[in-house]
A and B are shown apart, each in its own frame.
Chain A
Amino acid sequence: MTNRRKFLRNLLSVTVALGLSKKLFPNLIAFDDYFDDDEFIIRNGWVLLKSDLDSTNDY
């Protein structure tokens, strides 16, 4: 198998996996608007301060 075909196969696999994961696990994105205040936000289940989105803090 050429490198080009390997690349295309892997790309297809990753695309299908990501699509399936969002279909099977909608909760990965479903709670973004969970809080209706100015202080907190949810990303992929993580309860964050809104200011975290502009932060470089990665712990």
Chain B
Amino acid sequence: MAPAVIVLLIFTVFPFLFTIFLSFSNVSLVGGLSINFEGIQNWVRLLHDGRFWNSISNIALFVSLGVVLEYILGLSLAMLLRQKIPGREFFRILFLMPISITPLAVGYMFRMLYHPSRGVFNNILSSIGLPTINFLGDPDLAMFFVIATDVWHWTPLIFLLLTAGLQGIPESYLEAAQIDGANSWQRFRYIIFPQLIPTSIAAILLRSIEASKFMDKLYILTGGGPGISTETPTLFAYLSGLNNFDLAYGATIAMAFFVLVLVFFILTFLVITWFGLTKLGRA
């Protein structure tokens, strides 16, 4: 176990503590690297920085709407493919394809599809007589189309997890219900769905955690634009810290964001255990 712990200490725990330190420092790269302890200035600046709170509200929208859509779609697809129909295996393999595609590549694919004048979507819209949409260029809409990209990419993961969950439901339950005269909706509502709750919670949590780190596709799709209307905390911290070389402030953004994420997930975890919805002990 030692090597694993050592690796984590050096490359995760130390950088983490170091980031905390950086957020209270003044870092300069002019004429060689120099780090000086400074106090809470970065944090004061952060609290008054509208751009930071903007990025927080963006990621909140992104995670909540994105994961909900992914869950609804993933569940629907998993239910549809629960039926033993011809071509089932083919559809499964196909539906799982997006998961392994490099996120950055997904960004490029959709950027081409979204292109205002040559993109497929606008071409389809105008050919059926509808007005075209400036998908990524409109600050009020851009986030929704960024979310759509994420839904395309990660619905398959929820589909995969829920399919596995569905396989764990004993057939005997369902047969018993059928004999009792339950229709398919009732069977879903009273048998399948309750059985799926633990898997669902795990899937939603997993996706929410991953989605909160969102940046790769965004980097290609909008780069946080138009303006800062799609900028996420990760991208903001990257741009401030590693692009503008304001390393200390970048560290502050990242750390503040992590604190918020942590608080959010601890609260969620408490709520879940409070209601006894699942035993997350092992996972």
- Indicate, yes or no, whether A interacts with B: no
Which A residues form the contact surface with B (CB < 8 A)? Answer: none
Which B residues form the contact surface with A (CB < 8 A)? Answer: none
